[in-house]
Amino acid sequence: MRKEINKKLFAEIVGTGSFLPPNKYSTEDMKKYFPQINLEENLKSIGVKTRYFVRNLDTNEVAFTNSELTTQAAKRALDAANMKAEDLDLIVTATASPDYSIPNMACQVQELLKAKNADAIGILSGCGGFAHALTVATQFIENGFFNTALVTGSEVLSPYLDFSHPKCIEGQAINATIFGDGAGALVLKASHNDDGGVLCSYIGSDGKRNPLFLHDSGSKMRPTEETIKNGLHFWDLNLRLIVGLTPRFMKKATNMILSKSKNNLDKIDWIIPHQPTLPLVRRFAKDIDYPYEKMIIHFDNIGDTADACLPISLDMANKENKFKKGDLVLLVAAGAGWMYGANLIKW
């Protein structure tokens, strides 16, 4: 129960963490493992040099499940915050690749962490989910419902790589070219100090022209011999829609949060954008007329980690001492659904 009942609460970021799996693959490696497709031109233009997989492409062994990967990032964030798992009131996870459709992966993370006092909320999402997860956690803290929260974004896509199905070659080529596995986490704590924390959030959705489906993973379509024959157990990804709409939704989220927070881009010290490819990030920077060199990018070294992109990049930049006290940092993302959003942070 808070004492200063009339004073506004803020969600302060007290710890960050990230975790990448052990299997690192270069562009040359990917060409070797997947000779049946021509990756050369795609890899050159997209800008990714290395990515990390939970799956060992030689043995097909998987080192971590998504919940395990997320737990490792969470432990690092808790260590940075000098907190124990039992100090958490809330866990919010965002991912498109949970261990199971049910149970909710946030409950699995709660159990792995032994965060016995925490409620657990899972957001099933494409690349824009972390902005929603951070917004949800921030709202619970700002209204005094919870005092502490763990927010995670994670993705495990390498187990889906499979070129054995002729109908899935194009989609699998995109997956092999762009994506990497990883997890990132933030720890939030209620504070009456407005010197730092999550200042403002904006989230939006648009169910039209969804670019990504995993058809037989829900109640609408049960996995059968026929669905497997038709390749419906693989990601069905429309690259044209992603290329066309991702920068547009990210621009909308940016404009909306600037308006909501009564700021302009001149006041923003850093932007951490979702990073599907380097050309798309450059296009987004041009669309909003913001210096590309002031965008924090890790895509070339880790690939598109989807829902993990924002928290991983935030943690890496934090560890690199990019931020100084008082910096305004804008997180912005958009992904399948569509789900898009932005969070403005004062460091």
> Each residue of 42-93: pLDDT tens digit?
666 678 889 999 999 999 999 999 999 999 999 999 999 999 999 999 999 9
The pLDDT assigned to 1 comes to 35
* Beta bridge mates, 50: 26
- Helix 239-261 and helix 278-288: axis angle, to 10°? 40
Which amino acid appears at position 256 of this protein?
M
Within 10 A of 1 (CB to CB), how many other CB atoms are there? 5
Q: Where are the domains of the chain?
A: 1-347
From the candidate CATH numbers 3.40.50.300, 1.10.10.10, 3.40.47.10, 3.40.1360.10, the one assigned to the domain spanning 1-347:
3.40.47.10
Instruction: List, for the chain, all residue ranges whose pLDDT scores fall below the cut of 70.
Output: 1-6, 36-45, 163-173, 210-221, 227-239, 243-244
| Confidence at residue 2, expressed as pLDDT on a 0 to 100 scale | 36
CA angle 132, 138, 143 (to 5 degrees): 130
- Overall size of the chain counted in residues: 347
Provide CB contacts within 8 A for 23, sequence distance 6+. Answer: 52, 53, 54, 55, 56, 57, 63, 158
Beta carbons within 8 Å of 164's beta carbon, 6+ residues apart: none
Cα distances (angstroms) measured from residue 331 to each of 27, 38, 46, 88, 190:
28, 34, 21, 23, 20
